[in-house]
Amino acid sequence: MKDAIPHTPWRIALLAGGDSEERAISLKSGASAQAALASRGHVVVALDPAEIDLESLDWRQFDVAFLALHGRFGEDGQVQQILDQAGIPYTGSDATTSRLAFSKSAAKERMTQFGVATPSYVLIHYADDAARIRRMVAQIGFPLVVKPDSQGSSLGISIVRRQEDLAAALSLCFQYDSFGVVEEFIAGTEWTVGLLDDLVLPPIQIETPREFYDYHAKYDDDATQYRFDTDAPRAVLTLIEDMAKDACRALQTRGMARVDLRLDEQNFPWVLEVNTIPGMTDHSLVPKAAARMGIDFAEFCERTIAAAFSGRPPRPYLLQNPAVARRMPEQR
């Protein structure tokens, strides 16, 4: 992979911000990636979709787009579709996979088809009457998890242990999406695995004093711990890694991705979701795992961009840039 990193600068459009509920986190990801890539000599221009019309932009001034957008109009395939139409390579998964992964229910259906273990669930809608919701919830049983179908950063998620707490959980869920997922609760430990195409990064065990790894545990709580050195046997870590790879293969992710899992009390991993644009600050989990392998943040950002060119047909104007042409030898 190092051979794909250029000796001359890339011209990078760095997309961050947007108007989703995850705007603040996206801006942090974008600022960190921009600084890292600029430190390696690349020309990086930050673009905020909340402030600029991406469809009217002249993309010929850039070699590649680096996506640091989280949430809607970032991870849901809309931006990817615009970039495909513009003919500009971009980091991460294509529009189809992004759209699929952003819907928890659709992703779970696909993973189930490919034999990837994911907790059982039912899909509900805010307009469902109380009787239907009771019937659907009964299929899962307590304790259970209520989460918006399409939302990131653990926003709108609740663990519900008693019937009397269900209404509040549903109300919170529907603040973020008209569809909700009611999912089997897996007792055990929280894990995450980062991937860059076929490169699997070391699994991280997440420990929080909160009930689960919620938004505040992710971004605000200094008590949250991230552990590479755990008591889990090597065979269990391998099983976690394999399950993460299988989940990404099922959804056909490309480039960087992060798979969130629960390891149950029998040491069996269950995939909760696949994130196609994970956080990209130097404190985020995927860069932490890359650093564990000896890949610093700036190099990991470069590797993420190099992966954007792999397997994508070149655009004629890109071949005018020697740095890009070197990564497309088959087109010379």
Q: Residue 134 above 70 pLDDT?
A: yes
- Indicate the fold that domain 121-184 takes in CATH: Dna Ligase; domain 1 (3.30.1490)
Q: Is 275 a catalytic residue?
A: yes
For residue 319, the model assigns a pLDDT of: 41
Over the stretch 107-123, which tens digit does the pLDDT of each residue have? 999 999 999 999 999 99
Q: b/e for 151-176, b at 16 or more Cβ within 10 A?
A: bbbbbbbbbbeeeeebeebbebbbeb
Query: Would residue 22 show up in a list of annotated catalytic residues for this protein?
Result: yes
Structure letter (DSSP) for residue 179: E
Residue 153 a catalytic site member: yes
Q: Which of 260, 284, 321, 327 is catalytic?
A: 260
Instruction: Using alpha carbons only, give the angle 58, 62, 65 rounded to the nearest 5 degrees.
Output: 100
Q: Residues 21, 22, 48, 190: which is the catalytic one?
A: 22
- 2-91+296-331 under CATH 3.40.50.2300, yes or no: no
Active site residue 260: yes
DSSP conformational letter for 90: B
Q: Which of 110, 156, 279, 302 is catalytic?
A: 279
In the chain, where the domains are located? 2-91+296-331, 100-117+188-276, 121-184
Give me the percent of the chain exceeding a pLDDT of 90: 79
The CATH fold assigned to 100-117+188-276 is: D-amino Acid Aminotransferase; Chain A, domain 1 (3.30.470)
Distances, alpha carbon 278 to alpha carbons 2, 107, 248, in Å:
22, 16, 14
pTM given for the model: 0.89
**2-11, 81-90, 177-186: which range is least confident on average?**
2-11
Residue 92 and residue 14 in contact, taking contact as beta carbons nearer than 8 Å: no
Q: Could you give phi then psi for residue 307, rounded to 5 degrees?
A: -65, -25
